[in-house]
Structure 1
Amino acid sequence: MRWKNARHQALQKRLDSNMHKWILEGIECWDQKRAMEGKQKDSSDADLVYEHLTKRAVHDGGKLPSQIPVIRKMRYSYSLPPAQS
């Protein structure tokens, strides 16, 4: 247990002493143009649905409905509240 604790403390000291150097080195080496070119556009759920409805579904004829169901109307008496006597 002592060996593990001593090793952890040594690693923590090394990390604390070198962290600022690593951060500055990362900032200096950063190439923003290359990072932006490699980054893919993040798509929201609304964008994905819109793309599917406008682009993909048009070219996929296998998933189109072959028959539109006919819904019969209900009589109006079903939608009215019960008559009060």
Structure 2
Amino acid sequence: MKFCHKCLKDKSTGSFNKNKSTKDGLTYWCKKCRKKVHSDNQRKIKMAIEVLKTFEEEYPVEYKRVIEKINKRNTERNLE
């Protein structure tokens, strides 16, 4: 038995993925919780991409400025 830190339930060790960096060799979250979080994150990323695409289509000049600003900031960060 192992405790899932996400759903706060005790589950069998077969419900957890392997993770060599932990003491017991298993992840902190059960497979079901990890799958739910992963799918939620994928959905959020997909929505953010759609918002950016519509912004790019509606405001091409502003979009170009925003991208240039982000690229400049990232270049400066990488130089440090």
Same fold (TM over 0.5): no
TM-score normalized by the length of structure 2: 0.31
Larger Rg: 1
- Larger fraction in strand: 2
TM-score normalized by the length of structure 1: 0.30
Higher RCO structure, 1 or 2 (CA under 8 Å, sep 6+): 2
